[in-house]
Chains A and B, each alone.
Chain A
Amino acid sequence: MSDTPVDASKRTWLIASGCAGAVGTVATAIPFVSSMQPSERAKAAGAPVEVDISTLKLNEKLTVEWRGKPVWVVRRTPEEVAALPKHDAELADPESKRKPDELTPKYARNETRSIKPEVLVVVGICTHLGCSPNDKFQPGPQPSLPDDWPGGFLCPCHGSTFDLAGRVFKNKPAPDNLQVPPYMFLSDTRLLIGEDKNSKA
């Protein structure tokens, strides 16, 4: 250590320039960090898709790609629709109350989570960690599923189960129901996914 007394003004300037340097460093980091966000092209790729469901048979599923995600369109049978309320007690969120703005548009906040009772439109991505669940439409006992299985979807990654309205069962890793994307009917057999009457996305 030197015996020279501390020059307070020098120290002040050292601290000030140190702070200025830190601000500069953070400012320089901004473009680098921001460059990793979704690009304009990735954002633009989120355009709505039109689907023709005239050939979709009962109990059949059609998968379309919207924003890189699988969107399922399933035509449920009237019996399946009628059976939906019966297992409400086993569901984590039967009335789609959790994160409604994100997961369930207004017109799908009903027992069938759909505009038309028989046509289910959901994003086929598990709300747990983003795997795509498999179809398990056949009711009854089968491997990895309970004996009173009402028909629905099973996620292969962590075993979350969803009913035929994309509602998640209780005590499963997935916290939420499958997302219902914004969609609307252009005609009886033509669907527009990614856009609805309220939001011109």
Chain B
Amino acid sequence: MAQFKEISPNATATQKLANWFDNRFPTAGAEYRKHMSEYYAPKNFNFWYFFGSLAMLVLVLQIVTGIFLTMHYKPDAALAFGSVEYIMRDVPWGWLIRYMHSTGASAFFIVVYLHMYRGLIYGSYRKPRELVWLFGCAIFLALMAEAFMGYLLPWGQMSYWGAQVIINLFSAIPFIGPDLSEWIRGDYVVGDATLNRFFAFHVIAVPLVLLGLVVAHLLALHDVGSNNPDGVEIKGPNAPLDAHGHPLDGVPFHPYYTVHDIFGVAVFLMVFSAIMFFAPEAGGYFLEYNNFIPADSLKTPLHIAPVWYFTPFYSMLRAITTEMMYALSAILLITVGWVLVKTSASSLTKLLLVVLAIAFLWMFNAFGFTGLDVLQGIDAKFWGVVVMGGAVVILFFLPWLDKSPVKSIRYRPGWHKAVFGVFIVDFVVLAYLGTQPPSPTGERISQLGTLFYFGFFLLMPWWTRLGEFKPVPERITFAAH
């Protein structure tokens, strides 16, 4: 037990009360100091650093609005659609709470994508912040699950057929697939059982996981300290300290960044409110028109597409056709050929590699054109699922793929910035194509886009080392304003 602190009898009533609490619950004060008033963050944070706290804000918003929505929503296939319309029309202010929740879902992804991009350009996942990044990627995964299951709840046509398609993705897994997707649905088709369990996952199971991960993300961050746009450490052996032993280039999170973030919140809420009040459907991107038609298990809408935040990954799924598998087989062959000719690996390693390559070519169905039954590999459908999952999973490996000698994009060669620029364009183009009906041109573009997306990450160990890097300053660059 900590030392019991006596306070002067002349102290004010407030001080006495504070002392009374501090003697009985010292943790509160200690944690407040550790994470707020004495958490030193670099003083050169810029625009990009708003999105972490904004993501927290949206999380709170989603939880609060979600609680109020569950007071009126009915997780029953016969009643769900009607209960959402009831919230929209008859529940006092129900329309506002529901629009906050639906706009919040899209806002969550906007904020999180920008937050992740910040990490990418400033190397925030580099040593010693790998775990911060891994927890973050896990949050992203949980968020995707949360959004997907939440989208089924209004029980509209898009909810229904979107869930049908995504759950059927699992049935592409060899051997266990069909049973697995049946287990997820709890029925032979998406039905009442599916809706009921998705409700349970959406309102309690996944949010609990999400909250736990957010705590881990923040604790790990506060243990290693925040990165900054220069990618220079402000804590550590070479970083200068002030007379009190605090980093000279840091400022306490509270009040400096709390006030800073409140400004960000104000601007964010202006944009958020504008969308929520004037364009809650966002032209069919935030709330799809087909979802205003009740789910009909006998009729698929003419065009189905996921909500915008899933479309880049959906595009990659659609890009994997039989032809694309031939292209991937060719890439595999070239890579293996290059290793065999250009590297000095032992012959045993090379032999193993060739055996593995043949196994993969067989699984990729590269010999499918022969028409021989024994040479039939796995359908492109399965590889589409693998690619879609891989596009998310690859993010987890980023800390070990990036071999750039500097963290921040500020000190990387000019053409690296161009590569990042193309990556953004690629992501946006894939997202756009995912919202569109399938077309031959769209398919080709999304195939190229998929190759670039994976090339960007998988070739990082090579390209991030190349070029002329600028000298990294000893201390952060900061001009007082």
Residues of A within 8 A of B (CB): 33, 36-39, 42, 46, 63, 65, 67-70, 124, 128-134, 144, 155-159, 171, 173-175
Contacts and interface: CB of A to CB of B under 8 A. Distances in A.
Interface string B320-339: 01110000000000000000
B193 A156 contact: no
Nearest to A70: B298
B189 A68 contact: yes
Given A156-B304, A174-B381, A175-B379, 20 more contacts: A33-B183, A37-B182, A37-B186, A38-B186, A38-B187, A38-B188, A63-B299, A70-B299, A128-B168, A129-B164, A129-B169, A130-B165, A131-B304, A132-B299, A156-B437, A157-B300, A157-B304, A159-B438, A173-B321, A175-B381
B439 to A, nearest CB: 8
A68 B191 contact: yes
A68 B304 CA distance: 20
Interface of B: 161, 164-165, 167-169, 182-189, 191, 193, 197, 297-304, 318, 321-323, 379-381, 384, 437-439
Nearest to A174: B381
A69 B191 CA distance: 11
Contacts, number: 94
B183 A37 contact: yes
Given A132-B299, A171-B321, A157 B165 contact: yes
Given A157-B304, A171-B323, A131 B193 contact: no
A42 B193 CA distance: 9
Nearest to B179: A37
29 contacts: A36-B183, A36-B186, A38-B182, A38-B187, A38-B188, A38-B193, A39-B193, A42-B186, A42-B187, A42-B188, A67-B188, A68-B187, A69-B188, A69-B189, A70-B297, A70-B299, A130-B167, A130-B189, A134-B300, A144-B438, A144-B439, A156-B302, A156-B303, A157-B161, A158-B438, A159-B438, A171-B321, A171-B322, A173-B321
Contacts of B167: 130
Contact of A63 (B187, B298, B381): B298
Nearest to A175: B379
B162 to A, nearest CB: 10
Contacts of A33: 183
Contacts of B439: 144
Contacts of B302: 134, 156
A123 B368 CA distance: 27
A173 B185 CA distance: 23
Nearest to A102: B178
A156 B164 contact: no
Nearest to A130: B168
